[in-house]
Chains A and B, each alone.
Chain A
Amino acid sequence: MSAAEEVEVVTEGQAVEAVPKRAMTLGYGTSLVVLAALVLIPLFVKNFIIFQMTMLLIYGLAVLALNILTGGSGQFSLGQSAFYAVGAYTSAILMEHAGMNYALTLPIAGIVCFGFGFLFGQPALRLSGVYLALATFALATAMPQLLKLGYFEHWTGGVQGLVVTKPDAPFGLPLSQDMWLYYFTLVVTIAIYVASVNLLRSRSGRAFMAIRDNEIAASAMGVDVALYKTLAFGVSAGITGVAGGLGAIAVQFVAPDGYTIQLAISLFLGMVVGGVGWLPGSIVGSAFIIFVPNIAEGISKGLSGAVFGVLLFLVIFLVPHGARQVAIVAQQLAAKLKKN
């Protein structure tokens, strides 16, 4: 699509301003470059970096999930850490208590979280905007404590959490555990990304966006607003749950304090930095929440929080629409260069 068409969208500084669906994805060329980078880079770096790249994909998935909810259906959530936690614990418990294969635990984590999100979406239907954000905030605050409850301790390991065994590469492939897990995560991520793009481009996705833009008009067109709002919550929670499950396998450990409101806020931050409603931005947002705190620490150990704040402020100030805005400017520059 032409750059001019996209520019029309990014004009005014609304908080949740949306993207027509063609602008929701990358072009083929750019997609291939990103994909090649994601496939090739791990071959040349140390295991720790591979681990970080795995986490990049996992948080990318969680940001993508929030993007579907907020960018797609227009609902806010500060409770994504709760869904992430449920996914992580589902995988961990199934692996450690039931001895299930790690790959099989992921769809189960996704389905459990879909159900959880769908149910949570029911009362949330009565809320919108900041009130919905507060309700989800309450969910995020409650979750670590629920996980610590003595009643569930036999399964969850209580405050101690659970240790998860890292899987080896199958079929005797000559890959390190980190490398194998990275490629496994990459395949899952790509599959979910493609499915999400399909979803947002479909009749259901249009229903989400119609609700985001005008509920009464959507309903007059036959869109069951309550159903699609809860479905959006379910889908978002389901994807977050898969990310949580992958996260549990990658860090080999689940504990209540790993899934606090801090995580939910980080994911929210990632979504804004990546560009609300722009799915490819999810990976950029994920990179921001993983790497920028480290960069901040590199600049000043004692004031890392303040440095992070300044960096975040700069991003919001300079590119309020996040990575999407950068992508659009880059596209315009490329178009100009082609002309000359």
Chain B
Amino acid sequence: MTQAQLAQGNDPLLAVRDVSVVFGGIIALNGVSFDMRHGQILGLIGPNGAGKTTLFNCLSRLYQPSSGDILMEGKSILSRPPHRIAEIGIGRTFQNVALFPNLSVIDNVRVGAHARTSSDIVSDSLRLAWVRRGESDMNKKVHDILGYLDLEDVAHTVVSGLPFGTQKRVELARALAADPKILLLDEPAGGLNHEEVYVLGDLIRKIRDDRKITVLLVEHHMGLVMSIADHVVALNFGRKLAEGTPAQVQADPDVIKAYLGSKDQ
């Protein structure tokens, strides 16, 4: 590693600082902290109800933490509304795929580029020269991404008719169109069969390697997390249970207890 990379590596890209979320009387997250480093694949695991999705929703600004802070490159994201998250380089996919079902694949990906382009309704209606230039630049990028994720053949197909696995790739393509620095993946393995899960794992790693994108993987599928994550954070009942390399977390007695139960419970 060069000096610059080392220096960058020491500064977390995303820092979750003591985040708590309280719904009514229920504490969904209780003082969770962790850092995400540049280029890392961080797996966030935990049994049902552990607070994974709550944390995910704080990152994508759907929930407001009751206390604590979330810093992206040192700046708090908590004052940003959900639609101003993409522009600072946070992209996401959804648990059960949330595409725009009536749009074609290519239009879904084009919407992904919304945060990286600009226009206004008057210029758009008149198709002014700068609008056309912007569209053609964007189309080039969109086609690159479609090619990268092997979606060129279905580019003009309406997404609602596509197989689930393909829809997941479209969602990834849409997220990539916003040039994210960090990609939040909400249970990407859900609904996929054994083989598809490993293909997906390779793809996530490839995206990280090729595009230098940091990945936060919220996942139930232990096999996937353990095989591709560099770093794992385990939650249970809203608290951080363990953190470390996959091997460390897997061997952690608290984690084993949370997943399997123990004799003295």
Contact = CB atoms under 8 A, between A and B. Distances in A.
Tell me whether A and B are bound partners: yes
Interface of A: 1, 5, 8-9, 17-22, 195-196, 198-199, 202-207, 209-210, 212-214, 216-225, 231, 235
Given A218-B111, A220-B86, A5 B121 contact: no
A214 B100 contact: yes
A195 B127 CA distance: 8
B101 interface: yes
Most B CB atoms within 10 A — which of A19, A217, A224?
A217
Interface of B: 60, 62, 82-87, 91-92, 94, 98-104, 107, 110-112, 114-121, 124-127, 131, 134-135, 156-158, 161, 174, 178
Contacts of A196: 125
Contacts of A217: 94, 98-100
Contact of B115 (A8, A22, A202, A222): A222
Contacts of A8: 157-158, 161
Contacts of B124: 198-199, 202-205
A228 to B, nearest CB: 9
A224 B161 CA distance: 27
A202 B98 contact: no
Contacts of B110: 203, 206
B111 A198 contact: no
A98 B98 CA distance: 53
A222 B178 contact: yes
Contact of B103 (A17, A204, A209): A209
- Interface core residue of B103, B107, B121, B131 (most chain A CB under 10 Å): B121
Contact of B112 (A22, A213, A221): A221
A224 B103 contact: no
Nearest to B177: A221
A73 B82 CA distance: 19
A216 B127 contact: no
Contact of A213 (B102, B119, B120, B156): B102
Contacts of A20: 102-104, 107, 156, 158
B102 A18 contact: yes
B19 to A, nearest CB: 19
A214 B98 CA distance: 7
A223 B114 contact: yes
A198 B127 contact: yes
Contacts of B104: 20-22
Contacts of A207: 111, 114
Nearest to A199: B125
Contacts of B99: 213-214, 217
A35 B92 CA distance: 46
Contacts of B107: 20-21, 206, 209
25 contacts: A1-B156, A5-B157, A9-B158, A18-B102, A20-B102, A21-B103, A21-B107, A195-B126, A198-B127, A202-B125, A203-B118, A203-B124, A203-B134, A204-B121, A206-B107, A206-B110, A206-B111, A210-B111, A218-B100, A218-B111, A221-B114, A221-B115, A222-B84, A225-B83, A231-B121
Contacts of A21: 103-104, 107
A18 B158 CA distance: 10
B87 A222 contact: yes
Contacts of B102: 9, 17-20, 209, 212-213
B115 A206 contact: no
B135 A203 contact: yes
Contacts of A206: 103, 107, 110-111, 114
A159 to B, nearest CB: 37
B62 A195 contact: no
Contacts of B135: 202-203
A1 B107 CA distance: 16
B82 to A, nearest CB: 5
Contacts of A205: 124
A213 B161 contact: no
A207 B120 CA distance: 11
Nearest to A12: B160
A8 B87 CA distance: 34
Nearest to B86: A222
A223 B111 contact: yes
Contacts of A219: 82-83
